[in-house]
């Protein structure tokens, strides 16, 4: 089973990388961008076939390594 993890900064946490992207887009002539939030996508190929166990396993990975849960949120998407 494959899993995709979306990690983003929590609302209220400053995103200097997103702000730099916003400024660069404006410099390239793209107007009307109020804000940019940048995150990361992590794709995992798991040996687990059970969706419930796979989601539990991936959530444990996020809590321990893949996301800094103090400042980041994560969302898990399973793909059979």
Among 76, 71, 75, 63, smallest CA distance to 11 is for: 71
Q: Are 76 and 5 in contact (CB under 8 A)?
A: yes
Q: Could you read off the pLDDT tens digit of each residue along the chain, which spans 80 residues?
A: 999 999 999 999 999 999 999 999 999 999 999 999 999 999 999 999 999 999 999 999 999 999 999 999 999 999 98
* Alpha carbons 42 and 17: distance in angstroms, whole number: 18
Give per-residue pLDDT as tens, 19-39. 999 999 999 999 999 999 999
Residue 52 to residues 3, 58, 68: CA-CA distances in angstroms?
12, 10, 23
Domain range annotation of the chain: 2-79
The fold adopted by the segment(s) 2-79 is Mth169; Chain: A , (3.30.1280)
Q: Which residues contact 19 (CB under 8 A, 6 or more apart)?
A: 35, 36
């Amino acid at each position: 089973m494959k899993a995709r993890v979306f990690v983003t900064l929590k609302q209220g946490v400053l995103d200097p990388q997103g702000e730099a992207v916003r400024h660069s887009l404006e410099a390239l002539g793209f107007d009307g961008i109020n804000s940019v939030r940048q995150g990361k996508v992590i794709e995992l190929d798991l040996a687990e076939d059970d969706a419930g166990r796979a989601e539990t396993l991936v959530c444990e990975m996020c809590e321990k390594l893949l996301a800094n849960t103090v400042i980041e949120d994560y969302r898990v998407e399973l793909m059979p």
